[in-house]
């Protein structure tokens, strides 16, 4: 256990399937922040109808993953996840079970795909109310045909070239 590698996603405690209430994803990259916010969240979440799912994440070089959104994206009907980045097998099983319980389509990506930003996708709604999955062209190209096909019923894929941002390691 290493709190500096801790990731957290929060979901609603509800019985609807699929749950249409938004998920909140948090990542804390230092021990003090992790401990303070984890304690605060554990107190506040049950009051607001949310529940925490805490897990540790590492990249293929054993470094902490800097944001949960690099390895996990949750949309209304899908979840893209790099399960291999969840170091502890029990934590991995718990996350996968929680995601499966939402009724969403689970699209597993590899560490290599995660490195190509395939976990960093965002579902948005167009002005015509059409659901869109915005992702970089690099991420789109890293997905297999089968993975893209699995996502297409959920929303139209909208790849965008953001080469400069990716060349410097992503945003933020």
- pLDDT digits over 99-127, tens only? 999 999 999 999 999 999 999 999 999 99
Helices of type H across the chain: 31-48, 89-100, 111-115, 137-142, 145-151, 163-167
Q: Are 41 and 52 in contact (CB under 8 A)?
A: yes
Q: Are 56 and 7 in contact (CB under 8 A)?
A: yes
CA distances from 132 to 77, 126, 127, 139, 161 (A): 12, 7, 10, 15, 16
Q: Measured between alpha carbons, how far is 85 from 65 in angstroms, rounded to an integer?
A: 8
Q: Which residues pair with 81 in a beta bridge?
A: 72, 108
Determine the pLDDT at residue 163.
Answer: 76
Average pLDDT along the chain: 79
85, pLDDT greater than 60? yes
Counting every residue written for the chain, the total comes to 172
- pLDDT digits over 5-18, tens only? 445 455 444 434 44
Summarize the confidence of residues 128-139 as an average pLDDT: 94
Q: Are 111 and 67 in contact (CB under 8 A)?
A: no
Percent of the chain scoring above 90 in pLDDT: 54
147, pLDDT greater than 50? yes
- pLDDT digits over 5-53, tens only? 445 455 444 434 444 444 444 444 444 444 445 455 566 666 666 677 7
Count CB atoms within 10 A of the CB of residue 117.
22
Determine the pLDDT at residue 55.
Answer: 87
């Amino acid at each position: 256990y290493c709190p500096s590698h801790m990731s957290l996603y929060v979901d609603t405690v509800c019985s609807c399937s699929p749950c249409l209430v938004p998920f909140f994803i948090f990542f804390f990259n230092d021990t003090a922040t992790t401990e303070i916010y984890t304690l605060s969240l554990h107190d506040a979440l049950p009051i607001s109808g949310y529940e925490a799912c805490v897990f540790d994440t590492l990249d293929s070089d054993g470094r902490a993953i800097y944001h949960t959104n690099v390895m996990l994206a949750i949309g209304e009907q899908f979840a893209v996840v790099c399960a291999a980045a969840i170091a502890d097998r029990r934590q991995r099983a718990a996350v996968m079970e929680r995601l499966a319980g939402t009724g969403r389509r689970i699209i597993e990506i590899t560490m290599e795909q995660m490195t190509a930003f395939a976990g960093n996708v965002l579902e948005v709604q167009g002005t015509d109310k059409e659901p869109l999955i915005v992702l970089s062209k690099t991420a789109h190209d890293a997905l297999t045909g089968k993975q893209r096909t699995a996502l297409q019923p959920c929303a139209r894929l909208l790849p965008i070239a953001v080469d400069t941002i990716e060349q410097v390691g992503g945003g933020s």
